[in-house]
Amino acid sequence: MIHWFKGFFAWLRTAAGVSVSAAVLLAAFAAIDRGPYVLVNTVVMGGMLGLVAMGLAIILGVLNIPSFVHGEFFMIGGLAAYYVITPIKDYLFENPSPFLAVVGPVLAIGAATLAGALAGALAELLVFRELRRRNRDNWVMNCFLLTVGLNVILINGHQLLFGADFKGIVSYWEGRPIELFDVAVSMDRLLAFLISVSIVVGFWLFMKYTRTGRAIRAVAQDETGATMVGIPLGWIMTLTMALGCGLAAVAGGSLLFMYPSYPTVGMEATYMAWFVVILVGLGRVLGALVGGFMVALLKIVTLEYVGSGWDFVVPSALIILVLIFKPSGIFGSEVRGVLDQ
């Protein structure tokens, strides 16, 4: 028991401990001062941001790609969900069916995930695999430039094919909001939260206990070692890219009621995910989840106390401080490849 307390107090003094306790205190203060809805918003937004950032972190850790096209997979997710849910909603308007009303959103979010994962796998096969085959010098820089290029292509592709207007929905579920701690939480938010929790748990179990999940971790730790034990690098890289992009897309699909799909909707997701990844340290996949909640809290508290328009400035300022004083992030960086370059 005493041993446990000692360990806990030692942890409190580390960068991770200080930041996590500061976040908890800030959340408690805001919740008491402004009301529990601050917490509800933080948890919903944090869970989703956590998913997007975990995707970015795993792509960084396994493929060594600093992706600035990550948010565009969030955009693709929203777009796919929109084109699945809209006809279902139209149909439901004419023919009410409680079954379809429940299954529809699930289908839409499933389609979003699949579309994002497929687009990610395609990007890996068509772009990054080709680069890997030809030239591994300056890998990180070249990949960074490639992702910026892909970002432009996808944003303009969206505009060209689907137009620049907002493609969104008011809500997935018609049901009345649920009362939680005196806060009315809409079914959509609840669903978003449940999705993020179940995906994080599933993802963790997958990485820890399955043969393929362990192989992904092995590739992140030592590519040569992974080849030596018989792991096919190409397949693991494509799969990881699909998983990482799928994580961004499932968030885009789940949050369609808040963020309608339009060409540049992914920009915010990209920047927010990068804030998280820099905050916790590159390649920290589970840390990214914690960081997701912290950045979401910061954003929401800023909206509450400072005003809208500042919700981008305050996290950016924090990231500049992190980069100056703790460049390896609060949990320390795990990515050797990126730092070695």
List 7, 87, 149, 232, residue binding other proteins (CB under 8 A): 232
Residue among 248, 64, 71 nearest 143 (CA): 64
- Which part of the chain contacts other proteins (CB under 8 A), choosing from 39-47, 125-133, 222-230, 298-306? 222-230
List 1, 2, 228, 324, residue binding other proteins (CB under 8 A): 228
Give CA–CA dist 28/38, Å, rounded: 9
Q: Minimum Å distance from CB 286 to other proteins?
A: 13
63 lines the binding site for other proteins (CB under 8 A): no
| Torsions phi, psi for 65 (to 5 deg) | -105, 115
Residue 288 CB neighbour total at 10 angstroms: 32
Pick the closer one to other proteins by CB: 264 or 328: 328
Pick the closer one to other proteins by CB: 87 or 225: 225
Sign, CA dihedral 74-75-78-81, equals: negative
Give CA–CA dist 131/124, Å, rounded: 10
Angle at 79 between CA 73 and CA 82, to 5 degrees: 145
Pick the closer one to other proteins by CB: 124 or 334: 334
Q: Minimum Å distance from CB 231 to other proteins?
A: 6
Pick the closer one to other proteins by CB: 95 or 224: 224
For the segment 233-292, give every residue that binds other proteins (CB under 8 A). 233-234
230 lines the binding site for other proteins (CB under 8 A): yes
At CB < 8 A and 24+ separation, what contacts does 80-83 make?
A: 80/108, 80/111, 80/112, 80/114, 80/115, 80/116, 80/249, 80/253, 81/108, 81/109, 81/111, 81/112, 81/252, 81/253, 81/254, 81/256, 81/261, 82/108, 82/167, 82/168, 82/169, 82/256, 82/260, 82/261
132 lines the binding site for other proteins (CB under 8 A): no
Element (H, E) at 178: strand 178-180
Q: Minimum Å distance from CB 138 to other proteins?
A: 14
129 lines the binding site for other proteins (CB under 8 A): no
List 138, 156, 210, 221, residue binding other proteins (CB under 8 A): 221
227 lines the binding site for other proteins (CB under 8 A): yes
CB-based contact 192:254 (threshold 8 Å): yes
Element (H, E) at 185: strand 183-185
For the segment 198-217, give every residue that binds other proteins (CB under 8 A). 211, 214-215, 217
218 lines the binding site for other proteins (CB under 8 A): yes
Q: Minimum Å distance from CB 121 to other proteins?
A: 19
Q: Minimum Å distance from CB 141 to other proteins?
A: 19
Give CA–CA dist 187/195, Å, rounded: 12
Pick the closer one to other proteins by CB: 15 or 233: 233
334 lines the binding site for other proteins (CB under 8 A): yes
Count residues contacting other proteins (CB under 8 A)?
19
Residues contributing to the site for other proteins (CB under 8 A): 211, 214-215, 217-218, 221-222, 224-234, 334
